[in-house]
A = this chain, B = another copy of it.
Amino acid sequence: MPPRVTVLAGGVGGARLAHGFALALPDGGASLTVVVNVGDDAELHGLAISPDLDTVMYTLAEVSDEARGWGLQHETYATLDQLGRLGEDTWFTLGDRDLATHIVRTARLREGLPLSAVTARLATALGVRARLLPVTDDRVRTLVDTPSGRVAFQEYFVHRRHADAVLGLAFEGIGSAAPAPGVLDAVAAADLVVVAPSNPFLSVEPVLAVPGVRDAVRDAAAPTLAVSPIVGGRAIKGPAAQILETLGHEVSALGVARLYAGLVDVMCIDQADAGLAPAIERLGLDVVVTDTVMGGPGGRERLARSLLDVARP
């Protein structure tokens, strides 16, 4: 039996690592579960948008726009163009094919189907073999405190291009959110639990903060492992480095390790950060040093294989 791997993921970093596991596992990902952040979900033009879920889904289906890191390949923008003519805000780019996902998701949610069931149907339709789970079926919304006030996540991230200093974060609705069906089991029953190299504050925290999830990771019988999204003091993608800094953390794999100490057993860091291994070990973490910068499918599969070595036999 292939090892059962559960990945906690945000957008691009989580998507790429999940894809690596799908490539590395002999069953094409059928033994892989990806638990995905929904704090960056938004309603735009009345449509339910789940950017992280879609990034993971499109990447696993191998239909994502790899150069851009989000959305579908070969996209066109006729609907968005016309939405603009009709007076709608168009700062959030929605491709014509991508819109089909949002239209179907919105319709099914309005019919009363939970997000987890909608996601399963969409993923199946796109040929994804891995199980894709929103961390919760309840409404959680990440709010970002900036010098000019509290704004919705996509306002901060897309509209303002994550240029504001992040002074704090809130996850609206998270206190009363319940893990989606299968989430806690996927962590408890795994042979390896992996916190993806996603943004610790924007992507991972709103997954862990859903009541029950952090405890499930801490109590998992399997080895638990986090991959640093910071390499050589910089984020691979996105505002992780800025946010670590404004929130008073060291901008390094060690700074990330301090966030995850007490939660996971193993910290995976890049070869560029090998010198930080002793300090990370002093936090009580085991350290795996490997090439964590994934890029294309080859790099993803290689990283996943390195991490599978940690899985319980």
Known A87-B121, A87-B125; judge A79-B96 contact (CB<8 A). Answer: yes
What does the 1/0 interface line of A178-204 toward B look like (CB < 8 Å)? 000000000000000000000000000
A46 contacts which chain B residues (CB < 8 A)? 103, 106-108, 110-111
Within 8 A of B (CB), among A70-85: 72, 75-76, 78-83, 85
B83–A100 CB distance below 8 A:
yes
Cβ-defined contact, A45 with B87, below 8 A: no
**Closest-CB distance, A71 to chain B (whole angstroms):** 12
How far, in angstroms, from A51 to B1 measured CA to CA in the complex? 54
Distance of A45 Cα from B79 Cα, bound (Å): 16
Once A97-B79, A100-B79 are accepted as A-B contacts, the answer to whether A85 and B45 lie under 8 Å apart by CB is no
Q: Is the interface of A mostly helix, strand, loop or mixed?
A: helix
Take A96-B96, A125-B85 as given contacts and tell me if A45 and B104 are in contact as well, using a CB distance cutoff of 8 Å.
Answer: yes
| Residue numbers in B under 8 Å from A245 (CB-CB) | none
Within the complex, the shortest CB–CB distance from A84 to chain B, in Å, comes to 9
Residues of B within 8 A of A126 (CB): 85-86
Tell me which residues across on chain B come within 8 A of A79, comparing CB atoms.
79, 96-97, 99-100, 103
Chain A residues touching B, range:
20 to 34
CB atoms of A82 and B100 under 8 A apart: yes
Chain B neighbourhood of A45, CB < 8 A:
103-104, 107
- A294 within 8 Å of B (CB atoms): no
* Complex Cα–Cα for A16 and B207 (A): 55
Q: Which among A76, A85, A96, A103 has the highest number of chain B CB atoms within 10 Å?
A: A103
A120: min CB distance to chain B, Å: 12
Residues in B whose Cβ lies below 8 Å from that of A85: 100, 125-126
Residue of B80, B87, B96, B103 touching A47 (CB-CB under 8 A): B103
A–B Cβ pairs within 8 angstroms, 28 of them: A45-B103, A45-B107, A46-B103, A46-B106, A46-B107, A47-B103, A47-B107, A76-B76, A76-B78, A76-B96, A78-B78, A78-B95, A79-B79, A79-B96, A79-B99, A79-B100, A79-B103, A80-B100, A82-B98, A82-B101, A83-B100, A83-B103, A85-B125, A85-B126, A86-B104, A86-B126, A87-B125, A96-B96
Point out residues on A near B: beta carbons under 8 Å.
45-47, 72, 75-76, 78-83, 85-88, 95-101, 103-104, 106-108, 110-111, 121-122, 125-126
Known: A78-B95, A86-B122. 19 other contacts (CB 8 A): A45-B103, A46-B106, A46-B107, A46-B108, A47-B107, A79-B99, A81-B97, A82-B96, A82-B97, A82-B101, A83-B100, A83-B103, A85-B100, A85-B125, A86-B100, A87-B121, A87-B125, A88-B100, A99-B103
